[in-house]
Structure 1
Amino acid sequence: MKKMSEQATELKANENGHVLDLIAGEIEEGNGFISFERFMELALYHPQLGYYTKNIKRVGKDADFITSVSVGKCYGLILAHHFSTILKTFSNFSKEVVVVELGAENGDLALDIMGELSMLLSKDLFGRLNYIIVEPFSFKRQALKARLSSERIGNISVISDLEKENNLYGVLIGNEVLDALPFRRVRLRDKKWMELGVGINRDGEKKKLIEAEKCIQNESLISRVADFPKELPDGFTAEVNINFKQLLSGISSSFVKLEGYFVDYGSSHDELMDLSRSEGTVRAYSGHQYVKNVLLSPGSNDITSNVDFDWFRASAKKHEFITNEPIDQYRFLTNAAEPWLLKIEKSGIQNVENMKLINQFKMLIHPTTMGRAFKVLKFQK
């Protein structure tokens, strides 16, 4: 199976065109149908026109959405405290240790984590640490390298493909990565699962993307829906990600010993199969506003769905990873932040910077903001 960047690049149209034209062209070549996965690849990851690859601001209060990283440096600081213990342990087995980050966006988390680790680790161990950012798109790699080189905090490298690395010992962090992986959609029709993809309606020069159904042909998708509950109402719709195995395979082949964390929106499989989720969980966002029709304005909106954590864990088990039940971000960060909070308490210093960090911490763990919305899934090798 080709990587996302390779798939999104295989286009015949002029790169200065609109992504809608590219999608429409592929639908016509595909006899009126492309998978929702392919739609996402083009809408989100086309090298020039995709939502995640365009040179636009996506994250922040004045953009489309906020993340734990964009709240402030507190998130990276807490992760650094948590990772420092793991790295010290792994340093007994290997001369070099790593922190690998997927989905780094503008590099804020790398700088926050490395800045804190430079103070938490011994000079010797910090010198043996390499922070590796995996970014498949060249434009974003160049931007990251330019920013990170100007900061000069430790050994930070930006690479295109994790599979080029091997014999790694260390930590992996993926913040809101799994929900951004292109996925398939399925819909139950007359007790038979159909693939729900994307078609097109034409009215003269006007083009409108619409939902389209066809018999499932992908073997991985056929295998997955065979395990779905039998008694669901007609029209029940769900998302299926068949790309987890490719992601996990690459991670497994690169690491000898690993403690990894994916932080994301997600649910158990039973929750996703509940009748209250009969329309699935796919959704789009723009300017912090929910966009009901995810097929509108491709390339301009973030598209996501709830991660099926049970399916991810089952996929991870096949690659010999040990996984933990996902826990609320509130619980994970509260436990991980304990050494840092005790340090502040013992110092007795209530300066402006500490109060700023404490306020960020409260937002990260608050149940109505991020504390319960995000889940943390730990996996080990």
Structure 2
Amino acid sequence: MKSPLSIELAEKIRDSGPLRFDLFMQSALYHPEQGFYSSGRTRTGIQGDFLTPVSTGPVLGQLLARQADEWHTALGRPSAVSLLEQGADRGWLAADILNAIATHHPELREATQFHLIEPSPALTDQQRKSLHTQQELFPIHWHQNLESFSPNNTPCFFYSCELVDSFPVRLACHRNGFWHELFVSSSGGHFYWTEQPATSDLLNELKRWNVPKVDGFTAEIRPFASSWIRSLAEKIPQGIILTLDYGLPAQDLYHPSRAAGTLVALRRHRRTVDPLQDPGNQDLTSHVNFTELIQEGEKAGLRSLGLTDFSQALTRLGTPLFSDETTLPEKWTRNFQHLTHPGFFGKTHQILVQGKNLPESFRPSILKSPTL
């Protein structure tokens, strides 16, 4: 039996013609009731469709809390700061960060106003449940979008984890000497690919990133990424932005060796063959173009501080803990190894660090070489 979302999309295609893939992906992931992300179903962890750095345990949140406290100190410990997360899913990372701040960083605790950007009512309800205890210790505010958040002239510590990879992408394919854009058509209850000549705006993006004109080369272009980082840069008066995600600089992302592109559909911890099947019931994701976030952020007034992988970044943050005479629990060490091991998240996931109006001398530990 076809899902309500499949029926709705098929009717839309029947009435208006083939649907550009990013619009299909937008509905598949973010439809208000039936979207993969907005429906409120369990998506992460063993019982979900995939593992994330957050679902493996609290260590990532504890290390980010250390970075937030260092940032707070570098600013002279202002009496009020805003910590802001977008794409918090069930709120587990927020809970881990706030627990660590409450336990280990008392001055930051007194200064923190916590904000979550969440358009989904179902996820907002789940986040409220996850953060029930933390709401007794911190002011926590929810906003449907970034535009409705007001920093009230406070310094901001913004972070996201596996957010940008889920922004919808347009798909371009080079065939017979020309670029084409992939669209979604429908027949007999099934979705299938069709192609149309690439439009001038898509061609400009392909040229901008020097995507190779190799027959069969498929590339993802993410329309929303540029406006997102620009809006974030304009919203924050002063602060730091951490983007945690899997991706690459443009020269590596669009390398000829990646001719098949990076679009992946996931369900129950397995890649599915067809990203068009059963929309709303499988994840759709593709690698982040970090060069785009860097360049567009710089245009909007951000300073790019560095791009590093989880293995290096989290080892730098965790080194003082390993240097301490206190023995770390085995469960903590195992969680840390999952985050930093090259076979897990250590090399696949990157952290882009950008700042605005920060002290020139400030270089966060997440980018410093560890010293034992």
Aligned counterpart in structure 1 of residue 115 of structure 2, from 119, 132, 139: 132
Aligned counterpart in structure 2 of residue 99 of structure 1, from 77, 83, 95: 83
Q: Which runs of 5+ in 1 are unaligned?
A: 1-15
Aligned counterpart in structure 1 of residue 126 of structure 2, from 134, 143, 149: 143
1:20 aligned partner? 6
How far off its partner does 1:310 sit?
Answer: 1.5
Checking the alignment, whether the CA contact within 8 Å between 1:168 and 1:256 is kept in structure 2 is yes
Matched, 1:370 2:370: no
Matched, 1:237 2:218: yes
How far off its partner does 1:198 sit?
Answer: 1.2
TM-score by length of 2: 0.89
What does the per-residue CA deviation read over 1:307-360, in whole Å, with 9 as the maximum and x for residues that have no partner? 111222222222121224421100000001123333xx323x45xxx2211111
How far off its partner does 1:230 sit?
Answer: 7.2
2:158 aligned partner? 172
How far off its partner does 1:91 sit?
Answer: 5.2
Distance 2:11 2:199 in 1: 21
What does the per-residue CA deviation read over 1:279-331, in whole Å, with 9 as the maximum and x for residues that have no partner? 21101111110112111111111111111112222222221212244211000
Q: For the structure 1 residues 245 and 231, does the alpha-carbon distance in structure 2 shift closer, same or farther, using more than 3 Å as the test?
A: closer
Distance 1:126 1:288 in 2: 37
1:259 aligned partner? 240
Distance 1:231 1:133 in 2: 39
Matched, 1:75 2:60: yes
2:274 aligned partner? 293
Matched, 1:87 2:69: no
2:366 aligned partner? none
Q: For the structure 1 residues 346 and 55, does the alpha-carbon distance in structure 2 shift closer, same or farther, using more than 3 Å as the test?
A: same
TM-score by length of 1: 0.87
**Corresponding residue pairs, total:** 352
Distance 2:250 2:211 in 1: 14
Moved more, 103-112 or 249-258: 249-258
Aligned counterpart in structure 2 of residue 34 of structure 1, from 7, 15, 19: 19
Distance 2:216 2:16 in 1: 24
1:328 aligned partner? 309
2:253 aligned partner? 272
Q: For residue 177 of structure 1, what is the amino acid of its counterpart?
A: L
2:370 aligned partner? none
Distance 1:266 1:335 in 2: 21
Moved more, 307-316 or 257-266: 307-316
2:361 aligned partner? none
Q: For residue 353 of structure 2, what is the amino acid of its counterpart?
A: K
Q: For residue 272 of structure 1, what is the amino acid of its counterpart?
A: L
What does the per-residue CA deviation read over 1:143-186, in whole Å, with 9 as the maximum and x for residues that have no partner? 32243234433222222122221334121111001101111111
Checking the alignment, whether the CA contact within 8 Å between 1:330 and 1:372 is kept in structure 2 is yes
Percent sequence identity is 25
1:7 aligned partner? none
Q: For residue 146 of structure 2, what is the amino acid of its counterpart?
A: L
Distance 1:218 1:242 in 2: 14
Aligned counterpart in structure 2 of residue 310 of structure 1, from 284, 291, 296: 291
Distance 2:104 2:177 in 1: 57
Distance 1:183 1:336 in 2: 33
Checking the alignment, whether the CA contact within 8 Å between 1:81 and 1:340 is kept in structure 2 is no
1:10 aligned partner? none
Moved more, 64-73 or 248-257: 248-257
2:142 aligned partner? 158
| Partner SS, residue 55 of structure 1 | coil
| Partner SS, residue 193 of structure 1 | strand
Distance 2:200 2:238 in 1: 33
1:222-233 matches, within 5 Å, as 222-229=203-210, 232-233=213-214
Q: Which runs of 5+ in 2 are unaligned?
A: 357-372
RMSD over equivalenced CA pairs, Å: 2.0
Aligned counterpart in structure 2 of residue 121 of structure 1, from 105, 108, 117: 105
Checking the alignment, whether the CA contact within 8 Å between 1:197 and 1:212 is kept in structure 2 is yes
Q: For the structure 1 residues 346 and 298, does the alpha-carbon distance in structure 2 shift closer, same or farther, using more than 3 Å as the test?
A: same
2:359 aligned partner? none
What does the per-residue CA deviation read over 1:57-79, in whole Å, with 9 as the maximum and x for residues that have no partner? 11112221111111111111111
